Structure 1
Amino acid sequence: MKVSQDELISILSQFNPWWRGETITDLPEWRRAAFRELYEWVDSPPAPRAVLLSGARQIGKTTLMLQAVDALLERGVPPGNILYATFDHPLLKLAGIDAVLEAWREREPRVDGNEYLFLDEAQFIRDWGTWVKHQVDFARHRRIAFTGSAMPLTEAEQESGVGRWHTIRLTTLSFYEYLQIKKLSLPALPRIGTLRDLFDWTQPELYRVGESATHYVGHFHEYLVRGGFPQTAQVESVTQAQRLLREDIIDKVLKRDMTALFGVRRVLDLEHTFLYLCMHDGGLLDMPDLCANLEVKRPTAQNFLELLQAAHLIYRLPPFGYGKDVLRARFKVYLADAAIAPAVMLKGKAILEDAAALGIATETAVFKHLFARYYPQNVRFSYWRGRKDQEVDLVAEVGGQLIPFEVKYRAQHTGVRELKGLVELCRQKAIDRGYVVTKSLDDFGVIRELPETEARVMRVPAALLCYWMGESEVGRGRA
């Protein structure tokens, strides 16, 4: 079946209103922290590469691309030299990329200057990796940005695509971005360059910041149950937000994308696997228990986990270490957003009254914020488990240094007695600093004496840590 050029031109004209001299409607004023990096790679790329925006459904990839288009138009780029096309559209998918480009140039003849191609859901382009490689190698006048909602987009063509695109991996909204999109008027908080800066603050300075952050805690809790998706952040009620998250994001990924992209047939088993993970968010994955509960074989369960990670719904953390011991050990699983589990299990705001569930949601949010902030530096994240079930929630390996993070989200203040795993890890690995993520705003400051170790440990309230990690102006320095 062939799609006529006139039909393609009609579709593309709807997606590209700037060809008619019209502005892009409904474009939000706020911009995600990733905008600056995307625009740099589109406008003045540091290397001859395309740029890939990779991330889950509905986290703002299309909006980011259209904001980049808007910025290019403001800079004076000829409108006809900019193309936006989404290959989620059945006719564009059927026609293919070459026919789309021919229709574009039939409608808008090229003028001098670079061409800018913004291609949404590029995983539906046939042999997309080979096409991108060819464009980067031989069409140097073209700047290409493309999106994908599945990790195979970056892995399936890994061999042919090495060095041909730069990946910007988007997570759901940070707490900082959530506050920006909500346009909330809150007391200003000081900026920090890195978390290390906090060790130089005096206790009175920490106290003053904690007092200023009082109004942030309630919004942080709502963020945990409402979710870090732009759509869910802006609807009126938490119930509506969770229904939207469950129906428009999770269900579409599990029931549509998994079939269309990966050919999954056992959708019900996949859903049950995901539900199991929602019930064990932030915990060590017990594969025999999962297989027994769901009555699936281990290879099937393993395949489901890989698909859920490919669709950006989960993260898997290995234990600290290297070699065969790690391969045989259990992984820790975090959901992509703290609000996913409450939404799937129809819990509403109930987790706010459940200390254990609130602690798990906070740990999930903390991991996501640390991952998003330090992912561009190729930081390796793991968890540590020692003797007598001693454990450290997160360990970041940054430039050869180990930096542990322990989440203690509870009413009591945190002392050395509650940090046996952290103390043991710091002693074994001669670690000089670590962080404990706390609940109370006055549970904030240095724990000065850890037995048998010279490490300094900073207690940081979760709302503040997530705010600072998400703040767009925070440097991507060391933790």
Structure 2
Amino acid sequence: MLIERTIYPAIESVLSATEAIVITGMRRVGKTTLLKTILERIDSSNKIYLDLENPRNQLYFEQTDYDAILANLQLLGLNKNERMYVFLDEIQRVKNIPSVVKYLLDTYEIKFILSGSSSYYLKNQFSESLAGRKYIFELHPLSFDEFLQTKKLPIAPAINPDTPVSLAHYETYKACMDEYLQFGGFPGVVQKTSLAEKQAALEDIFTSYYQLEVLQMSDFRKSHKIRDLLLLLLERTGSKLEISKLCSLLGLARETVSDYLAFLQGTYFIHLVPPFSTNRDVEIRKATKLYICDPGLARHFAQLNEGALFENAVYCNLHQKGRVQYYQRKNGLEIDFILKNQGYEVKLHPHKDDIRKAQVLGTEIGLSSTQIVSRDHVSLPGVINIFHL
């Protein structure tokens, strides 16, 4: 079934603009499906889709004569006398694609809709050549709301945080929540039916990421060290990042480990969450917290307790809505996530005192509201579940 991605309306709103559209995200999150959905919905026959993982299609864009590239596109059926829509998938496979796109964009009436699997490369390639000439959209594994579409369940209605969640309401979504927490939101995993198929799909996603992003696309000589770092990071999901300790365990210089972390973040496998502070200097000095891109990958590859796994799943949903931060005091009091001036403290089974402490701390640091995100059903004001995010 077709999953209606939440970023589609934002993409649709700029289809009439002249700027190129770039959709980026980790492998297997559904970029190609989204690209083809946009292609099908455009009310024009003057459009073409090319997968640049196909060597033959790569040849069209590796020519130094950019006008000849347009001539090739015409041979493929495009009419240059009216607006052309060119969809290019896996653009990181052609090194000179940014300059090609810029020239054709400036010279002809072409709307480019592009996808690539790595912001690590695309941001570097496109930052100068297409400055001010592109819209970038990031696609991630399915959020829980998107996951519910596959179960033909409606999105949970917004609730008043001061009104306790009823058991009947919780039970409506519990089975879906349990499945999402166990297997995550990669479309290829969600669509499998058996436990063995889902586990095999998760293995394949990890292997594909390592083979195609780390071994083929990166220029790091010690790729096995990135593998070792990956495995170390999986076990540290939800923890503060201690770079010095990682350097010691891996036998690598701090600069090298920092480069590896930037690569893993730029290819969307990990996410680093900065601390919340009104003082920018303090924010820079404090450690970031680490999360993995998908609940299923975190559970399948790491030996984590249920609290860390649930916290990672909550993060995976919140970060798709904006910039997430965390807050922690020296005495240990903390708020796990802050998004748009709202606090979210994550608990498996919260008690009244947890709610009071979180709300008092949120008020002290100036948040507009603070809620507890619970895995279990707890009928208390101020407690919500992952399907209310």
With structure 1 as the length reference, what TM-score do the two structures score?
0.74
2:157 paired with 1:191? yes
Unaligned runs of 5+ in 2: none
Contact 1:235–1:241, Cα closer than 8 Å, also in 2? yes
Alignment CA distance shift 1:111-1:158 (3 Å): closer
The amino acid across from 2:369 in the alignment is R
Match of 2:231 in 1: 275
Match of 1:119 in 2: 88
**Structure 1 residue corresponding to 2:7, chosen from 17, 20, 34:** 34
Which has the larger Rg? Answer: 1
List aligned pairs for 1:247-262, cutoff 5 A. Answer: 247=204, 249-262=205-218
The amino acid across from 1:30 in the alignment is I
Alignment CA distance shift 1:219-1:60 (3 Å): same
Match of 1:14 in 2: none
Contact 1:414–1:438, Cα closer than 8 Å, also in 2? no
Q: Distance in 1 between matches of 2:330 and 2:253?
A: 31
The amino acid across from 1:414 in the alignment is H
**Structure 2 residue corresponding to 1:404, chosen from 329, 343, 360:** 343
CA shift digits 1:424-475 (9 cap, x unpaired): 3422x23341111012333342xxxxxxxxxxxx21022x22xxx4xxxxxx
Q: 1:132: how far off?
A: 2.9
Task: Considering Cα pairs closer than 8 Å and 6+ residues apart, tell me whether 1 or 2 has the greater RCO.
Answer: 2
2:352 paired with 1:415? yes
Q: 1:94: how far off?
A: 4.3
Match of 2:115 in 1: 147
Q: Distance in 2 between matches of 1:87 and 1:415?
A: 55
Alignment CA distance shift 1:96-1:132 (3 Å): closer
The amino acid across from 2:292 in the alignment is L
Match of 1:441 in 2: 377
With structure 2 as the length reference, what TM-score do the two structures score?
0.90
Q: 1:359: how far off?
A: 2.0
Alignment CA distance shift 1:129-1:104 (3 Å): closer
Alignment CA distance shift 1:362-1:325 (3 Å): same
Q: 1:109: how far off?
A: 5.1
Q: Distance in 2 between matches of 1:254 and 1:325?
A: 35
Q: 1:394: how far off?
A: 1.0
Match of 2:29 in 1: 59
Q: Distance in 1 between matches of 2:362 and 2:147?
A: 34
Contact 2:337–2:345, Cα closer than 8 Å, also in 1? yes
Alignment CA distance shift 1:190-1:331 (3 Å): closer
Q: Distance in 2 between matches of 1:306 and 1:237?
A: 35
Contact 1:254–1:267, Cα closer than 8 Å, also in 2? no
The amino acid across from 1:406 in the alignment is E
Alignment CA distance shift 1:278-1:252 (3 Å): same
2:296 paired with 1:339? yes
List aligned pairs for 1:244-393, cutoff 5 A. Answer: 244-247=201-204, 249-321=205-277, 322-345=279-302, 357-373=305-321, 375=322, 380-393=323-336
Contact 1:243–1:343, Cα closer than 8 Å, also in 2? no
Contact 1:60–1:230, Cα closer than 8 Å, also in 2? yes
Match of 2:48 in 1: 83
The range that moved more, 212-221 or 161-170, is 212-221
The amino acid across from 2:314 in the alignment is V
Q: 1:329: how far off?
A: 2.1
Q: Distance in 2 between matches of 1:35 and 1:164?
A: 20
Q: 1:112: how far off?
A: 4.9
Q: Distance in 1 between matches of 2:275 and 2:157?
A: 33
Match of 2:20 in 1: 50
The amino acid across from 2:337 in the alignment is L
**Structure 2 residue corresponding to 1:424, chosen from 347, 361, 373:** 361
Q: Distance in 1 between matches of 2:60 and 2:81?
A: 27
Q: 1:38: how far off?
A: 2.6
Q: Distance in 2 between matches of 1:189 and 1:124?
A: 37
The amino acid across from 2:157 in the alignment is R
Match of 2:58 in 1: 93
SS of residue paired to 1:29: coil
Q: Distance in 1 between matches of 2:378 and 2:243?
A: 40
Q: Distance in 2 between matches of 1:319 and 1:257?
A: 29
Q: Distance in 2 between matches of 1:230 and 1:277?
A: 24
How many residues are treated as equivalent by the alignment?
Answer: 383
Q: Distance in 2 between matches of 1:262 and 1:301?
A: 14
Alignment CA distance shift 1:122-1:417 (3 Å): closer
List aligned pairs for 1:202-217, cutoff 5 A. Answer: 202-203=163-164, 206-207=165-166, 210-217=167-174
CA shift digits 1:129-185 (9 cap, x unpaired): 33333333333x21111011111312443133221111111111011222212x44x
The range that moved more, 284-293 or 323-332, is 323-332
Contact 1:211–1:441, Cα closer than 8 Å, also in 2? no
Unaligned runs of 5+ in 1: 1-27, 348-355, 446-457, 470-479
SS of residue paired to 1:389: coil
Q: Distance in 2 between matches of 1:161 and 1:104?
A: 21
Contact 1:394–1:404, Cα closer than 8 Å, also in 2? yes
Q: 1:107: how far off?
A: 3.4
Alignment CA distance shift 1:96-1:160 (3 Å): closer
2:384 paired with 1:460? yes
CA shift digits 1:232-291 (9 cap, x unpaired): 0011223322322222x2222222222333212212110111111110111111112212
Contact 1:225–1:238, Cα closer than 8 Å, also in 2? no
Match of 2:193 in 1: 236
- State the percentage of identical aligned residues: 24
Alignment CA distance shift 1:258-1:367 (3 Å): same
Alignment CA distance shift 1:297-1:136 (3 Å): same
Give me the CA root mean square deviation: 2.4
2:101 paired with 1:137? no
